[in-house]
Amino acid sequence: MFLNPWSLALSLCSLVALVLGAVAGRTAVRVLRFWEPGSDSNRQIRLENEIWLSSTLVAYGLGFQIITLILFVLAADQFCQVIVGAMCATGALLANPYGMPALLVKLVGIFFYGFWILIHQLDIRSEHYPLVRIKYLALLLLLPLLVLDASLQTLYIAGIKPDIITSCCAVVFGESAGDATGNLITGLSQQGLLAAFLVSLAGLVLAGFSLLKRWRPWLAGLYAVGWLWFFGLSLVVITSVISSYVYAMPYHKCPFCMLKPEYYYFGFALYGALIPAAFFGASAALAGLVRGKAGLRGVVDRYQQLAIKISLVLLLIFSGLSCYHYLKYLISGGEG
């Protein structure tokens, strides 16, 4: 179903991102081949100029990918109106086997582009550009991800036929266990999930504060891993516990519907806090990996402190947002 404004916009964005990626990739190959920090040849000066271009392009690419991620979910929400049986984005994304992988690749992609920009920002803070080779090797590794993203998305759009029967979110994420259609997150008890969520949250806060007091590399590593775990766990908890409080319906469990205007775009605030928080939490340890390079010590230390602080603040916002509907339900008995 390409003849639809949403599919066209998505394809256009992917195409633009691919072109930008290709141009940046060209620079990457040249830098890897000809980079000589000590030289003052014409080629070296040109390359030093091109570094600016490629980093700007990746920054644009990141921005575009964030927009396409949102656009993709919203487009799926539109597609559901023409797919038999689908009632929201969940059904539309499950309409063929490429929907969910495309969404996952987009989400993972945002983290990787973000990490690349972080490495670049650290690199240009030092006069010696110590990370140039690593950076451009990483850029070349990002390109396949970009291609994968675009291909999955194209396959997904091509595979949407308005006649396919799919499941709505009440079936996919609901509690109707033993159903032949399969359920994505059965077998997880709500209490257990909530307990794990709260324990992880407390653990992250503790680790964060102790890192702010004294920096220990092993704890930073643990903090990063903890954030990745917490990110995955939060997505499950949002789907199976928090979402039904947001919708004020016990059987409506869906991570996408809360992005709609009916729920005051609550999902944007929730995910808008969670995703950057996970990024900053995980990136502090990543920045620590390049701390040993020439001229980066001070820069990395400053960044790490900042990243931990930002991740803690966002964590606070995220936990506040995720408790809001629950507390409202406890205090005022939910929606009138």
x/- site string to another protein, residues 143 to 162, per CB under 8 A?
Answer: -------------------x
Alpha-carbon span 319 to 299, nearest angstrom = 30
Residue 135 near residue 316, CB atoms below 8 Å: no
CA distance 93 to 86: 9
Residue (60 or 229) nearer to another protein, CB: 60
Sign (positive or negative) of CA dihedral 288, 293, 298, 300: negative
Binder of another protein out of 26, 34, 43, 84 (CB under 8 A): 84
- Contact (CB, 8 A) for 10 and 77: no
CA atoms within 13 A on the CB side of 239: 22
Q: Which residues inside 180-209 make contact with another protein, applying CB under 8 A? A: none
Per CB under 8 A, the list member of 81, 181, 190, 210 interacting with another protein is: 81
Cβ-based burial of 52 (10 A; exposed 0-12, middle 13-18, buried ≥19): exposed
- What is the per-residue binding string for another protein in 235-274, x denoting contact by CB under 8 A? --------------------------x---x--x------
Residue tagged 């830098």 (tokens): 31
- From residue 270 to residue 309, the character string flagging contacts with another protein as x (rule: CB under 8 A) and all else as - is --------------------------------x---x---
Residue from 31, 47, 57, 132 binding another protein (CB under 8 A):
57
Tell me how far apart the alpha carbons of residues 140 and 294 are, in angstroms, rounded to a whole number: 24
Q: Which residues bind another protein (CB under 8 A)?
A: 1-10, 12-13, 16, 19-20, 23, 49, 52-53, 56-57, 60, 64, 67-68, 70-71, 74, 77-78, 81-82, 84, 124, 162, 261, 265, 268, 302, 306
